[in-house]
Amino acid sequence: MVTATRPTLRDRAGTLVAAALSTRTTAPLPTDLAMVVVRTVLAWIFIYYGAGKLFGWFHGLGIHQTAIYFANTAHLHPGEFFAVLGGLIEFGGGIAMALGLGSRLVGLALFGDMVMAMITVSWANGINSEKLPAGYELNLALGALALVVTLFGAGRFSIDALAERRLAVMKSRSTT
């Protein structure tokens, strides 16, 4: 007579861990919640720095001093144009990112903003500079997060997803 052995708790736990580590799919709700976290972090940081550039909020330089910094330190000419452009991308992009509005395009713009910051200011200082200007570690992390939103979208808790659902409903009504 052959008797089947019952798997122990340890065996079942090992099987669950192996399955969790080897699966290639992620459940939709955790993915969407993770995208909310990513968007919120990006939004807060970019609104903070963009408002500093444009309005001098949060101890920022304001538009005039930012323009001088861009012209002299980053060698971006005309400094006024790039100060306004950078401020609008960061401040407006941060607001749009928080709402999940045009997230893929905004993510791409924010990624480009971080690449430009690395190229023009922080790359020469290495990844972890102990002097000013800082190294490129923050630019790298923010650019990577913005790229995640560009590639994966904002998730279901966004204006983008709401608009997509509304368009699908309108399209289904027009075909019937």
Report the alpha-carbon distance of residue 67 to residue 57 in Å, rounded: 15
What's the start-to-end Cα distance of the chain, in Å?
A: 63
Mean pLDDT over all residues of the chain?
90
pTM confidence score: 0.82
Residue 20 is predicted with a pLDDT of 57
Residue 125 is predicted with a pLDDT of 86
pLDDT cut 90: percent of the chain above it = 69
**pLDDT surpassing 70 at residue 154:** yes
- pLDDT: is 55 or 19 the higher one? 55
